[in-house]
């Protein structure tokens, strides 16, 4: 891979302290390798932009705060390289891991740095989301929302229109790559403790949004994964309810019959959604 075809994009919002540590090693190595370093200042009100200028990285600024995902979209659209490496601005990611990601970029469409540890309070919720994502995607995903990853710019641009502007950008891209049949590689990394302000991710609120997002993305790419299990559950519940009514009262309850009919309607809705999804993918490939 030509090292000059690499763009490193770093979204930053009020991250002047963490950004100093992040850019400290990257800018020097990037200069030697011929990499492009872009920092997207997402409407920061502190000295984030000044730090970028002092460090000598390329600065792209939003006039106001648009969100983590919107910053990444801006970075991808402004990147000159064929390979894009994204990383966080809070000092968690070691720049020495970039070459490790790039070493697999020729073989895989996306390479992700999987963190070995996480904040213990969030761990149960993240495990639950991971279980759901693993089942719906059909793949084991060690780190669903890692912000340290490398991918081909032209490939990721296929999914920018469905990627949210919030923090769930990485979750959406991960699921989209898997469901579209692209190759994804996870490599273990050590994440340092963040520097500067506390994370603005709210466990319950953002966790709920992420759960809905997972469902939305899977329905977009593989609707039957969602519709069929729900349909089967309703069908089984309806049959059991009908049998119970017949045994106990000598007649089939209306609720049981309606539940069975609902399951059948839901099943055919899934078939229809699957056909629409297939047609949409074919049109995008033409």
58-67, 177-186, 205-214, 263-272: segment of lowest average pLDDT: 205-214
CB contact set of 186 (below 8 Å; sequence gap of 6+)? 111, 112, 113, 114, 141, 142, 143
Q: What pLDDT is attached to residue 122?
A: 47
> For residue 138, what pLDDT is reported?
76
- Contact between 83 and 105 under an 8 Å Cβ cutoff? The reply is yes
Structure token pair of residue 233? 């559950």
Give the lowest-confidence range in 108-112, 136-140, 196-200.
196-200
Kindly state the helix (H) or strand (E) to which residue 276 belongs, with its residue range.
Answer: helix 254-285
Measured distance CA(276)–CA(254) in Å, rounded: 33
Q: What is the pTM of this model?
A: 0.74
**What proportion of the chain, given as a percentage, has pLDDT over 70?**
84
Judge residue 124's burial from the number of C-beta atoms within 10 Å of its C-beta, 0-12 exposed, 13-18 middle, 19 or more buried. Answer: exposed
Q: What is the pLDDT of residues 267-285, one digit of tens each?
A: 999 899 888 877 765 555 5
Q: Which residues contact 3 (CB under 8 A, 6 or more apart)?
A: 33, 34, 35, 102
Instruction: Please give the structure tokens belonging to residue 152.
Output: 């081909």
pLDDT band at 199 (very low <50, low <70, confident <90, very high): low
pLDDT at residue 120, rounded to an integer: 40
Q: Is the pLDDT of residue 64 over 90?
A: yes
d(CA 151, CA 157): 10
Tell the residue number behind the tokens 């999914």, with chain if given.
159
Angstrom distance (rounded) from CA 281 to CA 170: 21
Q: Are the CB atoms for 141 and 43 separated by under 8 Å? A: no
Taking 90 as the threshold, does the pLDDT of residue 7 lie above it?
A: yes
Give the Cα separation of 3 and 202 in Å (integer). 38
Helix (H, G, I), strand (E, B) or coil at 247: helix
Q: How far apart are CA 242 and CA 178, in angstroms?
A: 40
Domain layout of the chain by residue ranges:
3-221, 224-285
Tens-digit pLDDT profile for residues 71-94: 999 999 999 999 999 998 876 777
Q: Residue 38: pLDDT band by 50, 70, 90 thresholds?
A: very high
Read out DSSP for 80-149? Answer: -SSEEEE--SSS-S-TTHHHHHHTTTTT-SEEEEEES---TTTHHHHHHHHHHHHHHHTS--S-TT-S-E
What's residue 154's pLDDT? 92
Burial (CB < 10 A; 0-12, 13-18, 19+), residue 251, is exposed
Please give the angle made by the CA atoms of 212, 237 and 271, to the nearest 5 degrees: 55
Nearest residue to 93 (alpha-carbon basis) of 31, 170, 148: 148
CATH fold for the domain made of 3-221 = Spore Coat Polysaccharide Biosynthesis Protein SpsA; Chain A (3.90.550)
The half-sphere exposure of 38 on its side-chain side, counting CA atoms within 13 A, is: 23
Lowest mean pLDDT segment, chosen from 51-60, 176-185, 219-228, 231-240: 219-228
């Amino acid at each position: 891979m030509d090292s000059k075809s690499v763009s490193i994009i770093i979204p930053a919002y009020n991250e002047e302290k963490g950004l100093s540590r992040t850019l400290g090693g990257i800018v020097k190595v990037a200069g030697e390798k011929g990499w492009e370093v872009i920092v997207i200042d997402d409407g920061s009100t502190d000295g984030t932009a000044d730090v970028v200028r002092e460090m000598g990285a390329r600065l792209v600024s939003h006039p106001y705060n648009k969100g983590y995902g919107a910053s990444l979209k801006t970075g991808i659209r402004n990147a000159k390289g064929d390979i894009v490496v994204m990383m966080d601005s809070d000092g968690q990611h070691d720049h020495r891991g970039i070459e490790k990601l790039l070493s697999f970029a020729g073989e895989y469409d996306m390479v992700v740095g999987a963190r070995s540890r996480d904040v213990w309070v969030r761990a149960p919720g993240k495990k639950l989301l991971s279980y759901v994502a693993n089942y719906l995607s059909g793949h084991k995903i060690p780190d669903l929302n890692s912000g340290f990853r490398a991918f081909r710019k032209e490939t990721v641009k296929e999914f920018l229109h469905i990627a949210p502007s919030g923090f769930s950008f990485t979750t959406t891209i991960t699921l989209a790559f898997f469901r579209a049949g692209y190759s994804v590689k996870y490599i273990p990394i050590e994440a340092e403790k963040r520097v500067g302000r506390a994370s603005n991710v709210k466990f319950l609120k953002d966790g709920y949004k992420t759960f809905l997002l997972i469902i939305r993305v899977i329905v977009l790419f593989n609707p039957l994964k969602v519709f069929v299990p729900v349909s089967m559950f309703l069908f089984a519940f309806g049959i059991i309810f009908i049998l119970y009514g017949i045994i106990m009262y000598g007649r089939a309850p209306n609720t049981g019959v309606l539940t069975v009919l609902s399951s059948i309607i839901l099943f055919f809705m899934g078939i229809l959604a699957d056909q629409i999804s297939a047609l949409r993918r074919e049109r995008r490939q033409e």
